Structure 1
Amino acid sequence: MQPIPETDLILNPDNSIYHLNLLPEDIAETIITVGDPDRVGEVSKYFDRIDLKKGKREFITHAGWIGNKRVTVISTGIGTDNIDIVLNELDALVNIDFETRLIKEKLTSLNIIRIGTSGSLHADIPMDSILVSDYALGFDALMNYYTHHPDPIEQELKTIVGTHFSAIKTVSPYLTAGSKALIAKIGYGLPHGITATAPGFYAPQGRQVRAKNAIPDFLNLLQTFEYQDQRITNLEMETAGIYALAKVLGHEALSVNAILASRAALKFSKNPQKTVDAAIQLVLERL
């Protein structure tokens, strides 16, 4: 086995990982990701004690304890391009020896739980509810750059999805299931569905402000997909990258979505912070 070269695994002068600015001992095996750097403190304020605060660029990290369980919360920023950085660097922190630059013989599987915001696609998923992603459907290009192997259930669903969206020639969606263990532990009693991940906020999510939308029926395509007991329930910008890279790297992942918008009713929450806080408390109570 050859050491990983400096250009592929970049470390800072203090031997911390390049973008996240973290050392291996800085993170727990339970990781909460949030998009907004300001939301990190909204999570860690519920810790019984905080033993680490670090930050670099948009990547803010707090680590601490809830009872006898150590938890890390880290901001990813927006989009699957940032997820590419965060997932790979979190994995490196636990599965690569920074001194030898070799992959460890014994690999660690992290529990990665996204607490994010999202918009519902159906009237029966109301604003200010909390939804769990059974699957994530990526309309971004991230997984074109990685070797990944859907299991038979994922492949069947991906094929049906591909047929439904075949009129859109510019995208080839990928699909990955969330962690069954984390869904059972944290997602019980909540609405579930397929979460669509877009590569942008405006036209890629069916919005039109001034620039003309090239796929004007995109929302309708999302809303009308149904296969067996599955439908596309909500739309956001990170979950598919988290699910797919977590699977490639051998980690467990779950996305918990605070529904702040109803795309069906064309309305946005009047009290979004209350909904986000409810999602945070729910996750922390069920950890």
Structure 2
Amino acid sequence: MTRVIPASEMPINADGSAFHLHLKPEQLADRVILVGDPARVGTVASYFEEVECDVSSREFHSITGRYKGKRVTVVSHGIGGDNIDIVLTELDALANIALDSRTVKPGFRQLTLVRIGTSGGLQPFVPIGTYVAAEWSIGFDGVIYFYDKNEAVRDKAFETALLQQLEWKIKELQPYVVPANPSLTEQIAQDDIIRGVTIATNGFYGAQGRELRLALADPALNKKIEAFTYQSRQITNFEMESSALAGLAALMGHRALTVCCIIAGRVAKEMNTQYKDSLTGLIEKVLERI
């Protein structure tokens, strides 16, 4: 018997659009660029030759248009893995659920999703201004644990090495590791974007080892992160969304990758707050390659 998804589990607006994004199925392209800042959507879309739709709702701003003949949707997701859960679930619903009947479509539509973000570098070889692709994402957020069969997309051996080398002390939270889509990594990173290991945290301050007034549960954690190695890989950077994106996309069957511009040198304790111009080159690379 075909399952009908209840309204309480998949709210749909009166105009037939997804509840948070306010997008309709026909407004979504197969190629999707994700950005955190709603203002950055306009920056990406400024490269489009034509614009089909421009929709805003809360922190979610979406524009669909064409770049050199390719149909592309750019969507802002705000900050954090919880927002990725909302955005990716609704994008998948637009692609693979018939909203009128609330039933899963018989044929699967795969999306290609590239997140363009900012990040803090953790190694000398990723200084401020470097572009890093999250070939592997380490989740300090827990998002995918709420979904069945998450073990199928996780690298358990990598997780074991992580727990051992970091002497993991935060028992209430279990890190997980998910690889990005290999073919998409090849397509986007090519030979001029560093392929790294990215930690995605569920916060900007304590979760990334920043200490203001509150003491940290493990003050030595960042030092251990910087020293970590697994199969010749080192952890390159911190951000807040790559693991939820990689994990949920893999579970759903979509292709996903996060690429970041390094705007903070965590070891050197440097920060570039005027980073928006440094993102231009990364935006252009992604638009050309997606």
User: Is this a same-fold pair by TM over 0.5?
Assistant: yes
CA deviation string 1:30-59 (max 9, x = no partner): 000000111101110011111110010100
**Which amino acid is 1:91 matched to?**
D
Number of corresponding residues: 287
Contact conserved, 1:150 with 1:176, CA < 8 A, in 2? Answer: no
CA deviation string 1:205-227 (max 9, x = no partner): 10012222222112112111101
CA deviation string 1:146-183 (max 9, x = no partner): 12344598222122112223333232011111011111
Question: Alpha-carbon deviation of 1:271?
Answer: 4.1
Q: In 2, Cα distance between the equivalents of 1:6 and 1:56?
A: 20
Contact conserved, 1:44 with 1:73, CA < 8 A, in 2? Answer: yes
Unmatched segments (≥5 aa) in structure 1: none
For residues 1-287 of structure 1, the aligned pairs below 5 Å read 1-151=2-152, 154-165=155-166, 166-189=168-191, 190-269=193-272, 271-287=274-290
Q: In 2, Cα distance between the equivalents of 1:191 and 1:238?
A: 18
Question: Alpha-carbon deviation of 1:191?
Answer: 1.1
Contact conserved, 1:142 with 1:241, CA < 8 A, in 2? Answer: yes
In structure 2, relative to structure 1, the CA distance for the partners of 1:169 and 1:38 (3 Å cut) is: same
**Which amino acid is 1:277 matched to?**
T
**Which amino acid is 2:190 matched to?**
Y
CA deviation string 1:103-157 (max 9, x = no partner): 0110111000000000000112110110111111001121221123445982221
RMSD: 1.4
Q: In 2, Cα distance between the equivalents of 1:167 and 1:17?
A: 40
Q: In 2, Cα distance between the equivalents of 1:153 and 1:74?
A: 26
Q: In 2, Cα distance between the equivalents of 1:150 and 1:233?
A: 24
Unmatched segments (≥5 aa) in structure 2: none
Contact conserved, 1:259 with 1:275, CA < 8 A, in 2? Answer: no
**Which amino acid is 1:223 matched to?**
E
Q: Which runs of 4+ in 1 moved over 3 A?
A: 148-153
Question: Alpha-carbon deviation of 1:265?
Answer: 0.4
Instruction: Pick which of 117-126 and 153-162 moved more.
Output: 153-162
In structure 2, relative to structure 1, the CA distance for the partners of 1:99 and 1:152 (3 Å cut) is: closer
TM-score by length of 1: 0.96
TM-score by length of 2: 0.95
Q: In 2, Cα distance between the equivalents of 1:159 and 1:213?
A: 23
Contact conserved, 1:129 with 1:275, CA < 8 A, in 2? Answer: no
Percent of residue pairs bearing the same amino acid type: 37
Q: In 1, Cα distance between the equivalents of 2:215 and 2:65?
A: 46
Instruction: Pick which of 143-152 and 11-20 moved more.
Output: 143-152
Instruction: Pick which of 184-193 and 4-13 moved more.
Output: 184-193
Q: In 1, Cα distance between the equivalents of 2:165 and 2:30?
A: 38
Q: SS at the partner of 1:261?
A: strand
Q: In 2, Cα distance between the equivalents of 1:232 and 1:150?
A: 22
